Every structure is written in C-alpha cells, then in structure tokens.
Amino acid sequence: MIDVVRSSLAPDLLDYHEGWALQRRVHAEVVAGARPDSLILCEHRPVYTAGKRTADDERPTDGTPVVDVDRGGKVTWHGPGQLTGYPILRLPDRHEVVAFVRDLEAMMIDVARAFGVAGERVEGRSGVWVRSAGGWDKVGAIGLRVEQGVTMHGFALNCGNELTPYDRIVACGIRDAGVTTLSAVAGRSISPADAAPLVLAHFRRGVLGLAALEEVAA
C-alpha cells in the first residue's frame, strides 16, 4: 500500500521550504516503518534549487536567491505550471537507484505521449527530452537522494510553466541543450492538474514496481 499525498496544485501553490519539511517528515515515517511508501505531488511557488554538484557559474548572476538542497543533480527552477513529484519509498536494494531513475523516465515519457508529445531518453543524461531545431530540449528532470534506503526528492515535469526563469541559470548544468514544456510542444495548454491523474494512473498500474495506491491526506 502506498500513500499518495496530493499537496497544493494551483492555485494553491506550495512553498518550497514547507514542501521540503513535508518530505523530511514523510521520509522519517517511512524509514521508521510508521508509514508505507508515499508520493507527494505539487506545484511550487517560484524557486531556484541547487543540488550538491552545482558550480558557481551555473547559478543566477543577478543575486536571485537559491535554495541549496541535499539531492543529486545541479541547479534548476520550480514554479507554477510545473508538476513536481516526490516519491518517498524504500528501494529493495541500494544498487537499484539507476533502475529507479529509468522507471521515472519511462513514466514521464508515457505521460508526455498521452498529450501527443514524443519524449525520449538521451544517452548519458537523465530526464526526458524532446527533439528540437537546436537538438534537444528537456521537458522532465530528475534529482534524487537516497538515505537509509529510502528515496527523497524526485521528478519535475514541465507542463505549462514559463521558460524565462531558466535564462538566469545553466539548468541542470547542461549548456548545449534547451528547456521546453508539454504545452509548447503540443501547441495547446496543458497544466499540472491535467498531468497529475495520468501520473497517478501509472503508479496505480504498478509503474516502478509499486503496489496499488490509496489517496490520503498529508
């Protein structure tokens, strides 16, 4: 059984610090065996976050605040129009992190396909990508932390968010590719509220090798 914590889809946006505290609380409960594996879905208020490998020249150059976090990956942006998901679950084996990343990619590729968007993997890079005139644009990002065998942080799927915030950073540390949204590629408005039921449906069907879900309040 997996608890699904559906938290703050627009217009009720989630402050990143509050969401991070929620993650830590749920993570501690899963580690202790007091709660089953869980999934948090949300839209954040606008925020830049930086993983442990972020270089100084990848951060905003205009003094915009950045929240340094304990996940892998580099600097990125979260905000309205982006569906952010935090699967907090116990991995059967610590060596299964790469397989877990591949499963998250497969889930986002399937969700994108439902909107007529051909998402793909790019060898040597995590996340989900779409082909563009310039080569590749990223539409889905992944940044994880595994502590005591339980995952934290997760994935971000660009649905209909603005792209100008990415102009201030080197998103995910990648300088030779762009960023896009499902809406931009599909040519119509697609919101996190549109994508969330599809994400949940994939989890319910056993995507990531997980059990059936039961929605509960946080």
Q: What is the pLDDT along the chain (218 residues), one digit of tens a residue?
A: 567 776 689 999 999 999 999 999 999 999 999 999 899 999 999 999 999 889 999 999 787 889 999 998 899 999 999 999 999 999 987 668 888 999 999 999 999 999 999 999 999 999 999 999 889 999 999 999 999 999 999 999 999 999 999 998 888 888 888 999 999 999 999 999 999 999 988 876 755 544 334 444 34
User: What sign does the CA torsion over 169, 172, 176, 178 have?
Assistant: negative
In the 8-state DSSP scheme, what is residue 217? -
What integer pLDDT is reported at residue 208 of this predicted model?
53
Residues classed as catalytic: 172
What integer pLDDT is reported at residue 173 of this predicted model?
81
What integer pLDDT is reported at residue 218 of this predicted model?
42
At 15 the three-state DSSP class reads: coil
Q: Are strands 2-6 and 38-42 parallel, antiparallel or unpaired?
A: parallel
Q: Are strands 125-132 and 135-147 parallel, antiparallel or unpaired?
A: antiparallel
> pTM, whole model, 2 decimals?
0.92
Structural domains in the chain (count): 1
CATH code, 104: 3.30.930.10
Sheet holding 47-50, edge to edge: 66-68, 47-50, 75-78
Domain of 140? 2-216
What integer pLDDT is reported at residue 216 of this predicted model?
43
What integer pLDDT is reported at residue 212 of this predicted model?
37
> Among residues 122, 152, 124, which one has the least CA distance to residue 140?
122
Q: What are phi and psi of 72, to 5 degrees?
A: -75, 180
Cis-peptide into 46, omega within 30 deg: no
Query: Do the Cβ atoms of 9 and 43 come closer than 8 Å?
Result: yes
How far from 90 is each of 99, 145, 167, 169, 203, CA to CA, in Å? 13, 12, 36, 33, 15
What integer pLDDT is reported at residue 19 of this predicted model?
95
3-state secondary structure 54-80: CCHHHCCCCCCCEEECCCCCCEEEECC
